[in-house]
Chains A and B, each alone.
Chain A
Amino acid sequence: MLVIFLLLWELVPRTGLLPELFLPSLSSTLDVLYQDWRIYAAALWVTLYEVALAMLIACAGGIAAGAVVGGIARLRQLLLPVFSSLYAVPIVILYPVFTAWFGVGSESKVAFAGIYAFFPVMLSTAAGIRTIDPQFLLAARSMGATLTQQVTRVIIPASLPTVFAGLRLGGALAIIGVVVAEMLTAAAGIGYLVTLNRTILDSPRVFAALLMILILSVAYYLLARAVESRFIVWQSAGKELPSTV
């Protein structure tokens, strides 16, 4: 499948089915990466740095806020509808404000992507805590678990799968947020290279940047899955063996 895709990418522009301006061939795209690898590596470094910081903010803030909102019934009734509807707002409209507050450097990208990724993390953490089977806690209490033990030994492990799902989505949104922000206003990063080269109609350089973003996203996804399956062995719950007493 991938081979066919790459072959088409090479052959379609070569045979003149599409002009190179619309779709530069794979070889010319790779050639750009080879020639300009310093520029692309530096841009990737900036983007990775911003994504990492944004993820950190989203994880820490999202898990903390989600735990509080999910754990306390009154706050949940009050705040969850607000957060859920805020999640639907295209936060990108706020980006110009962020550049005014934080400047055009990395800070505005980190802040924007951090908030963008905050919502799924926070909402899924709240959902993960809210949907814990009350029997789990009742059983823990009957076995003499203290409040701290109920949190560390039951609530945290029980909500982990849902929290991880939120982190995976949040991480993906952090990448999107950083790249979009870089495309809008920036002087560095992969997203900046896309915009810069698009304005001068240098298609191979645009596609080289796109290719890097694609690879970055796929690499992130694979990493997230690997971490998740390491920590959570019991997600296949529900598949039961035939009833043998």
Chain B
Amino acid sequence: MAGVIHAIEVEGLSHVYGGAVSALENISFSVAAGRFTVIVGPSGCGKTSLLMMLAGLRAQSQGTILCQGRPIPGPDPQRVGVIFQEASLYPWLTAVENIEFPLSLRGTPKNERRKRAGAMLELVGLAGFGERYPHELSGGMKQRVSIARGLVQDPPVLLMDEPFAALDEQTRMTMGHELLRIWSTTSKTVVFITHSLTEAVYLADEVLVMSARPGRIIDRIAVPLPRPRSYDMMATDVFGRLRDRIWQQIRKTP
């Protein structure tokens, strides 16, 4: 695709555990800069492993991964930020200290750290909650802090590993909507992993559907819904058809 800048390019990626168990098989895809891509698949399909490889946190057996046009042999927070499930916030740090954490690892001066963390806190709608510890925050608030921590380093690519999986359905929908709002103010490329079909369609520009182990990409679905997305789009025929198509694909594989 000439003229399109790819933030992520994966070519012929395979992964085998312990020389025997095939976890990922011949995965190829690319994500254009600034696009929101959702990978959806049954549990155990290796989607988290795939994300860890995109983040440089795990090595693949075969194939290449290019991020911003270069391989990613190890974690590189300047290029790729990762947002995990809520459990990865440090309970001994306040919300604002958690957000500052990646900056302090790099030796950013305290004043600048505070300023940037404060701005992020405001962006995710938690102004005034900076001094709270994670255990003093609700599940949704913790996830907002996680997003702020991922954004504060300002990487062009954000990887999100089922960030809302631990939340209840209503909070989850609200957080998805919030994420789109935050994303629209940035120009980040997002790869988002989930097993919720509704979440996938609601968030994505493009949905990649993975099969059960060994994980392969069995379908790519462009989501033509306009942005900004709104809740009543879920009731539309287009939304329902897309959701149903993903479900059929996942159901087909054993």
Contacts and interface: CB of A to CB of B under 8 A. Distances in A.
- Does A pair with B? yes
Interface string A104-141: 00000000000000000000000000000101101111
Interface of B: 55, 57, 75-78, 80-82, 84-85, 87-88, 90-92, 101-102, 105-106, 133-141, 149, 153, 167-168, 171, 174-175, 178
A145 B106 CA distance: 8
A144 B105 contact: yes
A157 to B, nearest CB: 5
Given A144-B105, A233-B133, 14 more contacts: A135-B84, A135-B85, A138-B57, A139-B82, A139-B88, A142-B77, A144-B76, A144-B77, A145-B105, A237-B134, A238-B135, A239-B135, A241-B137, A245-B175
B91 A237 contact: yes
8 contacts: A142-B75, A157-B90, A157-B92, A232-B92, A240-B137, A240-B139, A243-B167, A245-B174
A149 interface: yes
A144 B78 CA distance: 9
Contacts of A139: 82, 84, 88
Interface residues on A, range: 20 to 34
A234 B98 CA distance: 13
A243 B105 contact: no
Interface of A: 133, 135-136, 138-146, 149, 153-154, 157-158, 160, 232-234, 236-245
Nearest to B82: A142
Chain A interface, DSSP helix/strand/loop, else mixed: loop
Contacts of A142: 55, 57, 75, 77, 80-82, 84
B135 A237 contact: yes
Contacts of A245: 138, 140-141, 171, 174-175, 178
